[in-house]
Amino acid sequence: MNNDILHQAYDPEQFRQQGHQLVDRLADYLAQMQQGSTLAVLPWQSPEDKLHAWQADFDNSPQPTINQFFDQVLMESIHIHHPRYVGHQVATPAPAAALAGLLSAFLNNGMAVYEMGPVSSAIERLVMKQIAAKVGYDSLGGGIMTSGGTLANLTALLAARQAKTNGEAWQKGTRGQLALMVSEEAHYCVDRAVKIMGWGETGMIRVPVNDYYQIRTDQLTPYFQQARKEGKKVIAVVASACSTSTGSYDNLDEIARFCQQYDLWMHVDGAHGAAAAFSDKYRSQVAGLSQADSITLDFHKMLMTPALTTGLLFKNERLSFDTFSQRASYLLNEDEEDWSNSGKRTVECTKRMMSIQVYALLRTYGWKLWDENITRLYDLANNFASMIQQHPAIELAITPQANIICFRYAPFGVPMAQLNTLNAQIRQQVIEEGKFYIVQTQLKGEVFLRVTLMNPFTTEAMLEELLNDVRQKGNALNC
DSSP codes of every residue in 241-285 = BS-TTT-PBP-HHHHHHHHHHHT-EEEEE-TTGGGGGG-TTTGGG
Q: Judging by beta carbons within 10 Å of its beta carbon (0-12, 13-18, 19+), is residue 177 exposed, middle or buried?
A: middle
Q: Parallel, antiparallel, or unpaired for β 294-298 and 310-314?
A: antiparallel
In contact, 185 and 248? CB cutoff 8 Å: yes
Cβ atoms < 10 Å from Cβ of 203 = 19
Determine the pLDDT at residue 349: 78
Determine the pLDDT at residue 2: 56
In contact, 131 and 125? CB cutoff 8 Å: no
Query: Using omega within 30 degrees of 0 as the cis cutoff, is the peptide bond preceding 62 cis?
Result: yes
Looking at residue 292, the DSSP 8-state letter turns out to be -
Is residue 466 helix, strand or coil?
Answer: helix
C-alpha distances in angstroms, 158 versus 151, 180, 262, 406, 448? 10, 12, 19, 33, 35
Domains delineated in the chain: 14-43+78-93+367-479 (3.90.1150.170), 109-365 (3.40.640.10)
CA 315, 138, 351, 150 torsion: positive or negative? positive
pLDDT in tens, the chain (479 residues): 456 899 999 999 999 999 999 999 999 999 999 987 889 999 999 999 999 999 999 999 999 889 999 999 999 999 999 999 999 999 999 999 999 999 999 999 987 788 888 999 999 999 999 999 999 999 999 999 999 999 999 999 999 999 999 777 777 777 889 999 999 999 889 999 999 999 999 999 999 999 999 999 999 999 999 999 999 999 999 999 999 999 999 999 999 999 999 999 999 999 999 999 999 999 999 999 999 999 999 999 999 999 999 999 999 999 988 877 644 444 445 545 677 777 677 788 788 999 999 999 999 999 999 999 999 999 999 999 999 999 989 999 999 999 999 999 999 989 988 999 999 999 999 999 999 999 999 999 999 999 999 999 999 999 999 999 999 999 999 88
Q: What size, in residues, is the chain?
A: 479
Q: How far apart are CA 215 and CA 218, in angstroms?
A: 9
Q: In what order do the strands lie in the sheet with 394-396?
A: 394-396, 404-409, 446-452, 439-443
Looking at residue 306, the DSSP 8-state letter turns out to be P
In contact, 275 and 374? CB cutoff 8 Å: yes
Q: How far apart are CA 333 and CA 321, in angstroms?
A: 12
Q: How far apart are CA 214 and CA 246, in angstroms?
A: 10
Sequential DSSP letters for 144-182: EEES-HHHHHHHHHHHHHHHTTTT-HHHH---SEEEEEE
In contact, 121 and 157? CB cutoff 8 Å: no
Determine the pLDDT at residue 337: 62
Looking at residue 215, the DSSP 8-state letter turns out to be B
Residue 372 main-chain phi, psi, to 5 deg:
-65, -40
In contact, 182 and 205? CB cutoff 8 Å: yes
Determine the pLDDT at residue 89: 96
Q: How far apart are CA 292 and CA 253, in angstroms?
A: 9
Residue 406 main-chain phi, psi, to 5 deg:
-110, 130
CA-based radius of gyration for the chain: 24
Torsion of CA 450, 453, 454, 459, to 10 degrees: 140
Q: How far apart are CA 158 and CA 324, in angstroms?
A: 8
Cβ atoms < 10 Å from Cβ of 431 = 19
Query: Whose CA is closest to 342, among 67, 128, 78, 43?
Result: 128
Q: pTM for the full model?
A: 0.94
Determine the pLDDT at residue 1: 47
